[in-house]
Structure 1
Amino acid sequence: MRDSNTYLYRAMPNTNFCVDVFLKNDIKRGENYKRHWHEQLQLYYFVEGKAILECGHNRFEVSCGNVAVVNSNELHYLESLSDDLEFYVIRIDPTFLFSNQVDLLQTKYFAPLAQNHIAFQNLIENDAQIVDYVTKTIQEYFTKETGYELAIKGSIYQLIVLLMRRYVGKILTKNEFEERARTLKRYEDVFQAIENNYVEKISLKELADSVNISTYHFCRTFKQMTGKTTTEYINGVRLEKAVCFLEQTNLNITEIAQKCGFDSVNYFSRLFRKHYNTSATKFRRTHTGQFST
């Protein structure tokens, strides 16, 4: 099992250059990036396959040619819909854009970005200019010809301009941003409790008590943050575990449903079909070919 902590810190390979680019091609159909968040701004550029991406309360399908923006301090999750999924990740520390001298650009644009007061729309489709600058950034990063750092910085400046002109989803006030960051940190124990106890009956009241708020306020805040009700989120975690059992064990469907916290195999089967658009039995046959029910 992967680390259940939803906060992710990953150091830059080069501490003197606050941009990192890498290719992800190891997430097969039904597998996922766990829900997590971080301070850095990220761009995903999809070159093969399809996936479901959730950013905050937004959920959408992404495919070849799409660019996705993951804002700082935004809870996100990706699930592969194909075995050939490939996408580049561009990680940007907003301080990368800063100069040593405070000027109008820094005050008007880069400081709000670094302080996460500007949130961009997540899905970008059919935008040739965005794709052009993304691919230039990737190419420069891997070829590393003389002056590649300048070329990357120039491309990212152009990307920021286009994002600001076309894809600003919301401009957060300082209080709104601080509240969002506090909420994510406050709910760390909630996400871990769900991850650790998905087999058991999970009480909404106990989850709410763990963050010292009423059940009503807890459910409202949870949905604002994840885009899902608490029950939907818990069932999503259980279905993720079910996929692992289907692929890696010879347990039958009833046994898997029970091991993943479902009291009813019929309820499990309905949810699985709704989420994956196929039955659990067909999913196992397609993805392993080893076990039958």
Structure 2
Amino acid sequence: MNILSFEKLKEYKQHGDTMFPIALYSVTHNVAGRILPHHWHSEFEFIYISVGEAVFTIDDEDILIKAGECIFVNCGQLHSGFSKTDVCTYFSVVFGTEFLTNTFDACNKFFDGIKTNKYKMLQHFKTEIPPQAEVIFHLKNIIDELTDKDIAYELIVKSKLLSIFGISFRNSLYTTVLNDHKDLLSSKRHSTLKQILSYIYQNHSKKIKLIDISHSVNLTPQYLCKFFKEMTGMSIVDYINHSRIETAISLLKISTLSITDIALECGFDNISYFNRVFKKQMNCSPTEFKLQFFQ
């Protein structure tokens, strides 16, 4: 199973491959708090909670997700997650639609309508509502297929995804969107936030100065801090630290680099500070975390 690198604010990496552009990620956090920093990508995403509860923010909407439920994230939507329980496990299915449809396919009008925000898909699926429960059932099948990868799993996954969108449109699990002035203002704010996140990502291994970020988006440092807090619920410093720790988590799982080298790679020039921030976020030291994967 792939390991999700949350350091990518705008995820330029390919999910899956050109022949099968879909990937499954499994994420577990053992302490309540931020589990997914703000980011966005060009693909669709379903997130299924298997253990615990979490609040996921999609653009400006906060959604409480309980175990057994899922959410849908459209391409380009800013999203983040915050666990309300000490243990939270979720599965993320990220995919491009190019293997489901194409320009000359009658099905393309549905996916194109979602991408262009003509149609707003239901974002929170619950088990007690039959059509939504059916979507969750198919999503769990997709997770199982992508985990086991038995023969012809690609065919099953593709058919299940098409079923999910077929169920959603047939049962009106979407709304037709009419843009208004409020939407345009919100879109502008999201665009500014994306620019800030992109700057942080591109410079996350270097020393990031507030004045440099403010110059990149043509805002004063004071307003930048206020704006970022309003949009994400985090200070810029906390966000940068959280993103760097998520990068460190990925490296600790797969790399034989020393703790010091990983800290430096992630933009921490003080190992004591790195250890302190890591323990606050993960409730264990980097060394203790690494031992789980290299014993």
Partner of 2:107: 105
Amino acid at match of 1:53: F
Partner of 2:145: 140
Gaps of 5+ in 2: 204-209, 243-279, 285-295
Shift of 1:229: 6.1
- Residues 211, 135 of structure 1: CA spacing in aligned structure 2 closer, same or farther, 3 A cutoff? same
- Residues 229, 69 of structure 1: CA spacing in aligned structure 2 closer, same or farther, 3 A cutoff? same
Give every structure 1 segment of 4 or more consecutive aligned residues whose post-TM-superposition deviation is greater than 6 Å: 2-5, 176-183, 192-196, 241-244
Instruction: Give the distance between the partners of 2:147 and 2:28, measured in 1 at CA.
Output: 16
Q: Which secondary structure state, in structure 2, belongs to the residue aligned with residue 62 of structure 1?
A: strand
Which of the numbers 156, 162, 170 marks the counterpart of 2:161? 156
- Residues 186, 4 of structure 1: CA spacing in aligned structure 2 closer, same or farther, 3 A cutoff? farther
Gaps of 5+ in 1: 197-201, 220-227, 245-283, 289-293
Q: Which has more radius of gyration?
A: 1
- Residues 134, 194 of structure 1: CA spacing in aligned structure 2 closer, same or farther, 3 A cutoff? closer
- Residues 158, 186 of structure 1: CA spacing in aligned structure 2 closer, same or farther, 3 A cutoff? same
List per-residue Cα deviations over 1:163-205 (Å, max 9, x = no partner). 22332144478xx999988865554443467999xxxxx89xx
Shift of 1:238: 6.2
Partner of 1:63: 66
Instruction: Give the distance between the partners of 2:39 and 2:176, measured in 1 at CA.
Output: 21
Aligned length: 232
Instruction: Give the distance between the partners of 2:115 and 2:232, measured in 1 at CA.
Output: 33
Partner of 1:36: 39
List per-residue Cα deviations over 1:228-270 (Å, max 9, x = no partner). 96553475236946998xxxxxxxxxxxxxxxxxxxxxxxxxx
Structural mapping, 1:196-211, within 5 Å: 211=217
Instruction: Give the distance between the partners of 1:62 and 1:119, measured in 2 at CA.
Output: 19
Structural mapping, 1:9-48, within 5 Å: 9-26=12-29, 28-48=31-51
Structural mapping, 1:1-293, within 5 Å: 6-26=9-29, 28-99=31-102, 102-106=104-108, 108-115=109-116, 117-126=118-127, 127-164=132-169, 165-171=171-177, 184-191=190-197, 211=217, 231-233=229-231, 236-237=234-235, 240=238
Asked if 1 retains the 8 angstrom alpha-carbon contact of 2:31 and 2:87, the reply is: yes
List per-residue Cα deviations over 1:121-180 (Å, max 9, x = no partner). 32111232111111111122222222211111110011011222332144478xx99998
Partner of 1:269: none
Q: Please report the TM-score for the alignment, with normalisation by the length of structure 1.
A: 0.62
List per-residue Cα deviations over 1:93-137 (Å, max 9, x = no partner). 0112115x714323x323334555433232111232111111111
